[in-house]
């Protein structure tokens, strides 16, 4: 049975590792949260770019034209 997890590793200075251990900081938890946050930021950036592109496309049409195109699309279904 395959696990839903993979192992990642990073090299850090020994001094940092010692200080983290002294403070009882769960390194894997910190890494996991940092990676999740970085991924969230990247996905938000991608979505923002797609929305800007969509906005630029829609801006060349009036609201009435957009409504009419949507209605035609619905009628075709």
- The DSSP annotation for the chain comes to ---S---------HHHHHHHHHTT--HHHHHHHHHHHHHHHHHHHHHHHHHHHHHHHHTTS-HHHHHHHHHHHHHH-
Query: For residue 4, is it within any domain?
Result: no
Range of the domain at 57: 14-76
pLDDT, tens digit, 9 for 90 and up, residues 22-64:
999 999 999 999 999 999 999 999 999 999 998 888 888 888 8
Residue 36 counted as domain residue: yes
Q: Is the pLDDT of residue 77 over 80?
A: no
Residue 50 inside a domain? The answer is yes
Q: Residue 21: what pLDDT?
A: 97
In a domain, 8, yes or no: no
């Amino acid at each position: 049975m395959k696990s839903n997890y993979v192992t990642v590793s990073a090299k850090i200075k020994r001094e940092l590792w010692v200080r983290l251990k002294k403070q009882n900081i769960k390194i894997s938890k910190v890494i996991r949260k940092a990676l999740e946050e970085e991924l969230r930021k990247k996905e938000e950036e991608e979505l923002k770019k797609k929305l800007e592109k969509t906005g630029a496309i829609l801006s060349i049409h009036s609201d009435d034209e957009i409504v009419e195109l949507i209605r035609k699309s619905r009628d075709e279904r």
